[in-house]
Amino acid sequence: MLSMQKSEEATEDIKKEERLRCLSEASFEGIAVHEKGMIIEINRVFAEMFGYYYPEIIGMHALQLTAPESRDLVLQKIVSGYEGPYEAVCLRKDGSTFIAEVRGRSISYCGRMARVAAIRDITGNKQAEEELRKSHSNLSTLYSVSAAISRTISMDRLFDIVLETVTGLDIFNAERKGGIFIVEGSIMKLVSHLGHPDIFLDLHKDMKVGDCLCGLAAKTGEIIISKNSDDDMRHTVRYPGIHSHGHIIIPLKARYTIVGVLYLYLPADFDIDESMLNLLTSIGNQIGVAIDNAKLYEETRALSLLDPLTGLANRRMMDILFEKYLAGTQRSGTPLSVIMLDIDHFKKYNDTYGHDTGDKLLAQLGKLLLKEIREADLAVRYGGEEFLILLPETDLLKASETAERIRGFIESTLPTTVSIGVASYNLKIKKLGKIIKKADEALYMAKKKGRNRVEVAHV
């Protein structure tokens, strides 16, 4: 009776083993049966997954098929009987590795207790996850740069904002150190920088396209990677105290033109992949377009504040700068004067020689005024043939002397004369409109007294 029972149990075990073998061979996962890690059975997928023939694996320990970094984990799971799932790095016969998801379960096999492990290669999934993570990180980075750029259209603030943002991004593992060059013809102008000593700034004052690594990026339009400044012969600008470092130099492009260069400091012998290079290219293009837009804005703004015929300031710029001059005058108690001049008999000149010749005369007068005034002064085309000059830190006497010098120079240089009125800021006439009115009254007096003369408004 006992013998018959044992025979039936043995038959049942054989049937179970056969069913297990059939199921494992039909599985898309690698299946292995082991006793305390020692492999006693596998399916075809398992053998192919690890690159072995069936007989080679039987008798091997599971740890022999595990990469060193995962062996402690796998041993712990085997000993504890953990069913999973968990992830481990597996080792193929050829030495290559793959990431696997592992599940385990205790079973009865050939009359003794064993464990069956199901292994699925998830390397592709992990790579896809990593690509997705990188893509998300890259998009987040581009958004951060874009958001920083959108905070200003002013050229003065743009460079500092961009540099602060890019050097603060975690993905580069960069130092809070770097800078931005703007390319102007063959000259490279350092317009923003972080973390540099004075000697560095002195050495980069006369940078030209083609000089050192930044100049090379500006010349070629390509991202320059320098893993170690000590070994890179292209790194030609050196100074005492410079430490080993790596560089990424990114050309800033707009409308197929190099408008500048962004350079970052990284640890020596850093690594960078193609995904990062693509991201840097996108960042460079973003910044380049922002710089181009800022330039266009500055140019447009300048044109909106200048008279197109004479190149002098227009009344809008005069209003803006007068407030600045007035604030300085009130704060420091320094004088502020206004010269107003008008071309004598300009209508007759226009009627005689034509409007084109009249326009040329206005343009010539504008150039002459710019030449005769100080850098601190402001020459304005006030309207028609009327011009105005704001003279900060100039009292009424000096302003009248300047006016007389200008009058005489115009008389000796141009085919015309001018009448001039001069007025100054004081406690009774504090507003621009009142000062101009006083200067205009003095100008009218000069016209009335025979033209080609200077009259001063006295209060």
Give per-residue pLDDT as tens, 174-187: 678 899 999 999 99
Which residue is listed with tokens 């020692």?
A: 38
CB-count exposure of residue 51 (10 Å: 0-12, 13-18, 19+)? middle
Selected residue with higher pLDDT from 137 and 74: 74
Question: For residue 11, what pLDDT is reported?
Answer: 54
Average per-residue pLDDT for the chain: 86
The residue-averaged pLDDT of 93-101 equals 94
Taking the whole predicted model, whether its pTM rises above 0.75 is answered as no
The residue-averaged pLDDT of 365-387 equals 93
Question: For residue 381, what pLDDT is reported?
Answer: 94
Q: Is the pLDDT of residue 149 over 80?
A: no
The residue-averaged pLDDT of 115-125 equals 90
Residue 364's SS3 state is helix
Q: How confident is the model at residue 413 (pLDDT cuts 50, 70, 90)?
A: very high
For residue 51, give the amino acid letter. Answer: G
Q: How confident is the model at residue 376 (pLDDT cuts 50, 70, 90)?
A: confident
For residue 344, give the amino acid letter. Answer: D
Which residues sit opposite 337 in a β-bridge?
391, 424
Question: For residue 2, what pLDDT is reported?
Answer: 47
Q: Select, from the ranges 15-29, 140-154, 239-253, the one with the highest average predicted confidence (pLDDT).
A: 239-253
Side-chain half-sphere of 234: how many Cα atoms within 13 Å? Answer: 14
Question: For residue 18, what pLDDT is reported?
Answer: 60
In angstroms, the CA 229 to CA 270 distance is 12
Q: Domain 315-456, what architecture? A: 2-Layer Sandwich (3.30)
3-class secondary structure per residue, 396-428? HHHHHHHHHHHHHHHHHHCCCCEEEEEEECCCC
- Those residues with Cβ within 8 angstroms of residue 430's Cβ, 6 or more apart along the chain or in another chain: 326
Q: Is the pLDDT of residue 165 over 50?
A: yes
68-77, 158-167, 204-213: range with lowest mean pLDDT: 158-167
Q: Within 307-395, where are the H helices?
A: 315-332, 346-353, 355-372
pLDDT by residue (tens digit) across 16-26? 556 556 555 65
The residue-averaged pLDDT of 118-140 equals 77
The residue-averaged pLDDT of 195-205 equals 90
**Could you tell me which of 289, 267, 295, 293 has the C-alpha nearest to residue 142?**
289
- Superfamily classification of domain 2-121: PAS domain (3.30.450.20)
Q: What is the DSSP string of 200-268?
A: HHHHTTT-BTTSHHHHHHHHH-S-EEES-TTT-TT-----TT----EEEEEEEEETTEEEEEEEEEE-T
In angstroms, the CA 113 to CA 12 distance is 15
Selected residue with higher pLDDT from 109 and 65: 65
Question: For residue 241, what pLDDT is reported?
Answer: 82
**Could you tell me which of 310, 332, 178, 201 has the C-alpha nearest to residue 252?**
178
- Token code pair at residue 17: 């083993």
In angstroms, the CA 438 to CA 441 distance is 5
In angstroms, the CA 246 to CA 232 distance is 10
**Could you tell me which of 375, 372, 408, 386 has the C-alpha nearest to residue 307?**
386
Q: Within 92-235, where are the H helices?
A: 123-149, 155-167, 198-203, 212-220
Would you kindly state where each structural domain of the chain is located, as residue ranges?
2-121, 128-302, 315-456
Question: For residue 291, what pLDDT is reported?
Answer: 86
Q: Quick count: other Cβ atoms within 10 Å of Cβ 303?
A: 11
2-121 with 128-302: one CATH topology?
Answer: yes
* Residue 155 to residues 100, 301, 304, Cα–Cα distance (Å): 53, 12, 17
Q: Is the pLDDT of residue 282 over 50?
A: yes
Select 128-302's CATH number: 1.20.120.1200, 3.30.1370.10, 3.30.450.40, 3.40.50.720: 3.30.450.40
